[in-house]
Chains A and B, each alone.
Chain A
Amino acid sequence: MAFVNGLKCRECGREYPAEPLNVCDFCFGPLEVVYDYATISEVISRDRIEKGPLSIWRYKDLLPAEADDPVDIMAGFTPLIKAKGLGKTLGLNNLYIKNDSVNPSFSFKDRPVSVAATKALEFGYETIACASTGNLACSVAAHAARAGIRAVVFIPSDLERGKIIGAAIYNPVLVAVDGSYDQVNRLCSELADDYPWAFVNINMRPYYAEGSKTLGYEVAEQLGWRLPDHVVVPAASGAMFTKIWKGFNEMACLGLLEGVEASPFGIDQNTVHHPAVTTAMHMIQAEGCSPIVTAWANKQTQVIAVRPDSLAKSLAIGNPADGIYSLKVIDNSGGSAYAVPESNIVDGIKLLAETEGIFTETAGGVTVSGLKHLAKSGAIKPDDLTVVYITGNGLKTQEAVEGVVNPLYIKPSIRGFEEAFTGGK
């Protein structure tokens, strides 16, 4: 069973039952899940987690959906790899890669969507929907196929064909909207009010976002129930960034970390900061869409929306819903925020591929380039335990790295090969 008390507005604190809501009726602030941590603390243990399935549902006690029969395509429990090659190149001796590009639909989105789809069935929905330019569409369509329900996926009509095949293969209703980014954005938001569908990132958002906490839990478990000194995380809406931090703090408060005593969550579950959580949270965005980094750099209390113009389409959210909350996490954790020049994104993809054998999408290129900056600037010291999150697969954005294809063209003969291979020497 889910240990959920209800929903609560992050702005005015009003409480609501656990229903398909995402906005406070009074102040229009975002709603967050409220857990019954007192009961959770009585049942949860490392042993119970370790005996669970090799997916995000091993942490079912901390997820807001009934987990007896979840919509599970085995999202999560992805590898945490000691990055010897990349670490050597960057001068980092204790670097790990959380490789979330190997999820079933090839991005971290499978985590929140698995929770949202499970919750949608619980609420009795027969359709799950989303507006997406890539990864989210793939994940929603895949989970709907698994659940045997309909998926309706909205995409901008000018989206590259290659990007939609990964979603279309699962046979969703694919709606290509002819309009600007802002028009598509507003239309989908309005449709969520009019249709009885579970829009994973609109009316399911409080539950959906919680799935990303598992990125925090897994890293802690895979490191032997301890936390890293630094994490380096890409950001679009900022939701994943804040949820990793929340996951770390939940584990600390519940006494699941090595050598850490359990402690109360206090009044506001979403802003709790356990003193044992000393991980510095570093956020990376691409320069072409970096509203949160800009706000942090300018010490602003508000995030000013921008019109995205970045190679990293999966990070291109110009008006990030969790921007303000991300700023608080950066400051509370002693972290930082950095915007990677657009020209460095492909370099980051190649660096990861050539040193670790991992092919990531453009968002991963942003993250690796950001990590490189943090190492070079001294923000991360050589022996600091550092985890970099790689959240999507390179096969999704192959067009970004087409320039790497430069084969040796030869005649079908030994001589032809040797001439090309050795340059005739």
Chain B
Amino acid sequence: MGKQRVKFTFEDNLVKQPVIYELGQKFKIITNIRRAEVGEEVGWVVLELDGEEPEIQRGLEWVSSTGVRVDPLGGDVIEG
């Protein structure tokens, strides 16, 4: 089992979709929301994912395929 901390960003057309609920249903992943904000144009959720690493990777690929942006916590780590 492993844990991963990520940030999901939802554009306004995706805010109403229960992506986090479905992530927990479709994959063997426990989701734990720590911080979130939903505005007019965009919403974001910072959460911890608990599960087997390959399962988390599959889950994150599915989240990305829905159009939700998946980023590491704390913004981009690659700097110029």
Contact = CB atoms under 8 A, between A and B. Distances in A.
B39 A320 contact: no
B35 to A, nearest CB: 5
B80 A302 contact: no
A190 interface: yes
Contacts of B72: 185-186, 188-190
Nearest to A11: B35
A192 B4 CA distance: 11
A28 B35 CA distance: 7
Given A11-B35, A302-B42, A319-B71, A185 B77 contact: yes
Interface in A176-229: 181-182, 184-186, 188-190, 192, 199, 201-202, 205
Given A27-B34, A189-B72, A320-B75, A363 B80 contact: yes
Contact of A201 (B34, B35, B69, B77): B77
B4 A321 contact: no
Given A304-B41, A305-B9, A317 B35 contact: no
Contacts of B75: 237, 317, 319-323
Interface in A21-70: 22-23, 26-30
Interface string B64-80: 00000111111111111
B74 A185 contact: no
Contact of B78 (A109, A184, A304): A184
B80 A28 contact: no
B78 A133 contact: yes
Most buried by A among B60, B69, B76: B76
Question: What is the size category of the interface that chain B forms with chain A?
Answer: 20 to 34
A136 interface: yes
Nearest to A323: B75
Interface string A278-319: 000000000000000000001011101100000001111111
A316 B69 CA distance: 17
A320 B60 CA distance: 21
B5 A23 contact: yes
Nearest to A133: B80
A189 B35 contact: no
Given A26-B34, A27-B35, A305-B71, A202 B77 contact: yes
Interface of B: 4-5, 9, 11, 34-35, 37, 39, 41-42, 44, 46, 48, 60, 69-80
Interface of A: 11, 22-23, 26-30, 109, 130-136, 154, 156, 181-182, 184-186, 188-190, 192, 199, 201-202, 205, 236-237, 298, 300-302, 304-305, 313-323, 363
Interchain residue pairs A-B with the least CB separation, the first 4 = A314-B80, A321-B75, A189-B72, A131-B78
23 contacts: A27-B34, A27-B46, A28-B46, A28-B48, A136-B80, A154-B78, A185-B71, A185-B72, A185-B76, A188-B78, A189-B73, A190-B72, A236-B79, A237-B75, A298-B41, A302-B39, A305-B71, A317-B75, A317-B76, A317-B78, A317-B80, A319-B71, A321-B76
Given A136-B80, A202-B77, A305-B69, 6 more contacts: A29-B35, A300-B39, A302-B37, A302-B39, A302-B42, A322-B75
